[in-house]
Amino acid sequence: MSTTRRNFLKTGAAITALPFLPALPASAAGRDTLVAVTAQTINSLDLHRTGTNRASYAVAINCYDRLVTFGSKEAPGGGLSYDYTRVEPELAESWVISEDGLTLTFTLKEATFQDGSPVTAEDVKWSFDRAVSVGGFATVQMKAGGLERPDQFEAVDEKTFVVRLDRPSKLSLPDLAVPVPFVINATLAKQHATEADPWAMEYLHKNTIGSGAFKVSRWDPGQQVVYERYDGWVGGPTPAYARVIMREVPSAATQRALIERGDVQVAFDIPDKDAAELADKVTVYSTPVENCVHALCLNTNFAPFQDANVRKAVASVVPYEAIFKAAAYGRGVPLWGGPQEITDTAWPRKSPYDTDIDKAKDYLAASGFPEGFKTTLSISTDLASWMEPAALLIQEAVGKIGIEVELEKIPGANWRTAALIEKRLPMHLENFGGWLNTPDYYFFWAYQKGHLFNSSNYYNPEVEALTNQTLHMAMDDPDYAPKIERMFQIAFEDLPRIPLYQPALNVAVNGAAGYEFWFHRQLDIRSLSPAGA
C-alpha cells in the first residue's frame, strides 16, 4: 500500500473510493447495498475447479442452489448458527428415503435459473455427474457421502431426481447440503464446453450460471467480488440487499478502522486480537468452529518427520499456552494437555501432549536425529494473523532442542496448491475444519492417504481401515465408538498433525443484522439485512 493510500484512509473517507472502482459514497451502502471486507482472496468462481481456494466457496453458497440446506439455531456466544441436526429444503421441495436407506428420491421446486430457463432434474444430474467426475476436492467430498459415480444419479422426469447408494450412510443427506453439490445451468454450460473441456471448467471459472439468490456481476481478482440479487430465487426468503460488495482488504488495521467508522457493514473473519478489542465498540460474533483444529503438521515425506520420536519431540516442546494467548487471544478452545486414556468420541479433543522440554529432549535423543536438523516452517499470508505469531513461537521453541527452522510465507492464493495439492511443505500450520460434524469425516479428509487435507502425507493402514468402516456407520452402532476411540489413539501416537487449539470465527458487524455462522466458514450474504429493518 502506498503512502498516499495510507494517508487517504486516515482521513476517514469511505473504502468505496478505492482506485479500482468508481467512487461510491458510504451513504449508498444503506438500505440497498452492503459492503463487506475480508482478508481472504477469491481465486475462482467455480468450486469444482482444482486449486479453488476456501474463500471461493462463498460464490457457490450465494450464487447456486443445492437440493437441501441446514436449519438454524442459536449460536454459542450470540447470533445464529447452522443446525447440523436439521436438513431442510432448498431447491428440492421434498424427498423420500427408501426403507433400506439406499434410494433418495427428490421432487424439485418450480425454479428458474438466472437466465430465466427452468431448473430440471437433468440439470441436477449433469451437475452431480460433474462433481463426481472432475477429480480433486469436489469429487472426494461427494465420495464422503457415498456419491461416487454418474450411474448413481437419474433424472426420472423434469422434476424428479433419484440418488442410488451402494450402502446406507449417515452422511449422504447432509453431504447434499455442503457447498459442493451445487446445481448448474447444464444447457448453458454445455454451450461453453469443448472436447478438451467437457465440464466447461474455463467458463464457470469466470461466470456464475445458477439459480441461487445472487449472481456475480463483477470479479476483480485480488480486489473484490460484486454480487447482484436474483429476484427469482425460490430457495429461501428474498434477500434484503440488492447488491453486496465483498472487498479484499489484507490489512487487519484497515479492516478495523473501516468497521469502527461504519464505512463497511461487515468485517469477516477478523483476527482474534481485533475481535477482542472491537467487542465493546461494534457487534462481534465469535463462534467456535465445529470439527475444526488449528494444527502443526509434520510432512512424513521428509526424513526427520518420518521418525515418530522426532514428531513426539516437537509435540512436547510446542509452547501451547503462549500460542493460545498470542495467536488466539484466548478465543477458541485449547487442545493440549488431555488425558492419556480415551473413553469417548468427542472431537475435536485435547491431545495428551503438553509443553515439557525435558521430555522433548529425551524424544529427540532417542530419534535418528539426536543432534537436531534444519527445516522450513511454512505459513499462509492469508492466515498470518494466527499463523505468524504461532510460527515465531514454534521456531523459538524447537530451536531449544536443536531443530533450526526457517520461516516461509506463502501468498494466500498459492497456499492451497503448495500445502494441500502438491503437499510439498515439510513443516507447516494448517486449519482444516470438517463440514460434516463427525470425527470419522474429519479423519477421512485429514488422515487418509492422498486426501486433500492430509498435508502431512500420512498413511497408516489401520487408520485407513477404521475410517472406511466408520464413515458410513450409524453413530449408535455398538461398534462405532470403540473404532473411533482406536482412531484417536493411533492419531495421538503417530502425530502427523499436532493439535494446537479449536479456533473461533470472528465477524464484526456495524449497521447490518442477520449474520449466521456456517461450517464452511464463509459469509452467507443471503440472510443479511440492514440493522433495524
CB atoms within 10 A of CB 63: 24
Phi, psi angle pair for 426, to nearest 5°: -65, -45
In angstroms, the Cα distances linking 276 to 48, 344, 353, 500 are 36, 33, 28, 20
Per the structure block, which three cell numbers stand in for 17?
473510493
**188 three-class SS:** helix
CB atoms within 10 A of CB 231: 10
pTM of the full predicted structure?
A: 0.83
The CA distance from 38 to 41, in Å, is 8
Q: pLDDT, tens digit, for every residue of 95-150?
A: 999 999 999 999 999 999 999 999 999 999 999 999 999 998 999 999 999 999 99
Q: Which residue, chain included where needed, has cell 472432475?
A: 134
Cis peptide before 478 (omega within 30 of 0): no
Phi, psi angle pair for 310, to nearest 5°: -65, -45
β strands within 76-201, DSSP E: 80-89, 92-97, 103-108, 153-157, 160-164
Asked whether 243 and 33 are in contact (CB, 8 A), the reply is: yes
Per the structure block, which three cell numbers stand in for 140?
472426494
Measured in whole angstroms, the distance separating CA 206 from the mean position of its chain's CA atoms is: 21
Per the structure block, which three cell numbers stand in for 170?
449417515
Q: Which domains does the chain have, with CATH numbers?
A: 1-64+212-287+504-533 (3.40.190.10), 85-203 (3.90.76.10), 294-502 (3.10.105.10)
pLDDT at 16 over 60: no
The CA distance from 382 to 49, in Å, is 20
Q: pLDDT, tens digit, for every residue of 303-313?
A: 999 999 999 99
Q: Given pLDDT bands bounded at 50, 70 and 90, which one contains residue 51? A: confident
CB atoms within 10 A of CB 16: 21
Q: pLDDT, tens digit, for every residue of 395-445?
A: 999 999 999 999 999 998 899 999 999 999 999 999 999 999 999 999 999
Q: pLDDT, tens digit, for every residue of 458-506?
A: 999 999 999 999 999 999 999 999 999 999 999 999 999 999 999 999 9
**Interhelix angle 121-133/136-144, nearest 10 degrees:** 110
The CA distance from 344 to 346, in Å, is 6
Per the structure block, which three cell numbers stand in for 366?
532417542
Q: Which residue, chain included where needed, has cell 473404532?
A: 483
Q: DSSP code of 143?
A: H
Give the β-pairing of 80-89 and 68-74. Answer: antiparallel
| Widest pairwise Cα distance in the chain | 69
**Interhelix angle 461-471/480-494, nearest 10 degrees:** 150
